[in-house]
Amino acid sequence: MGSRRAKAASPEIRVLADPEAVARAARDEVAHAILAAVGERGRCDLVLSGGSTPRRAHELLAAVELPWDRVHVFFGDERCVPPEHPDSNWHMARETLIQRARIPDANVHRIAGERDPEDAASDAENAIQEHFGLRPGDMPSFDLVLLGMGADGHTASLFPGTNALEESTRIVVANHVEKLGAWRVTMTFPVFEAAQRVLFLVTGPEKAAMVRSATVLRPGAATPPAGRVRPRGGSLVWLVDAAAATKLPTAPDGSGAPPAPSA
């Protein structure tokens, strides 16, 4: 699959024709990561994103024959609602992927959105530390982190202007989001920076301006939360559809057109 190899400091951006093509590319990326991680160390530690964009990718992925019993699923964030609530990210993942792929319950590390946000964050953090055998202060290195982005540039539940943006040592924190008038529980930037690979799935014209702000670093320009996700040693790939790519700099050949969707 072609992709515009951007400068070393920037993410790899792949422009796909439409949301369905993004979902298919995401399916292939996740399947590859699972097979590689299980092949190398007998396990794949995967972080799922919330929101609606991943739904189709989950459905396609669930139909792929993979060593699902070796896959551990974590959540980049969770809304503070009960698990059966339609807004729950776990609920969406269970419906579109977990049940269909028959991922064992013991491998699904839900954030308890129904609990006090601070308690839910501490429990989720303890579960990750135990799973990875971490010493206090260490960061987990997930094999693959899926993320989305809102039109305001938030990712996971790292919203502009919220306290969690400044977190530099915790793995999971409670975060009050003024604009939503709600609490969320979210993984933090250090976790995403320690990942082997981060894959953003972003579609839709309403996100085009923010895709540019998040992927094209310009001196002096404010970087939105999604743009601050920069894996230190790992790789960063943005899968965007053509509608979300319209504001990206022109193709390398300077043709003036937005980057053409890859096959």
Least separation in angstroms between CB 253 and ligand 6PG? 31
Q: Residue 155 has what DSSP assignment?
A: B
Tell me whether residue 89 or residue 129 sits nearer to ligand 6PG (CB atom).
89
In three-state secondary structure terms, 57 is: helix
Distance in angstroms (rounded) separating the CA atoms of residues 88 and 158 = 17
In three-state secondary structure terms, 201 is: strand
User: How many residues make contact with ligand 6PG (CB under 6 A)?
Assistant: 15
Residue from 107, 129, 155, 213 in contact with ligand 6PG (CB under 6 A): 155
Helices and strands (H and E) in the chain: how many? 7, 9
Tell me whether residue 89 or residue 213 sits nearer to ligand 6PG (CB atom).
89
The span of 13-21, 45-53, 93-101, 213-221 binding ligand 6PG (CB under 6 A) equals: 45-53
CA angle (72 as vertex; 68, 76 as ends), nearest 5: 130
Residue from 52, 168, 218, 253 in contact with ligand 6PG (CB under 6 A): 52
The span of 65-73, 151-159, 168-176, 238-246 binding ligand 6PG (CB under 6 A) equals: 151-159
Query: Which residues does 150 contact at the CB level (< 8 Å), separation at least 6?
Result: 51, 159, 207, 210
Q: Verify binding: residue 88, ligand 6PG, rule CB under 6 A.
A: no
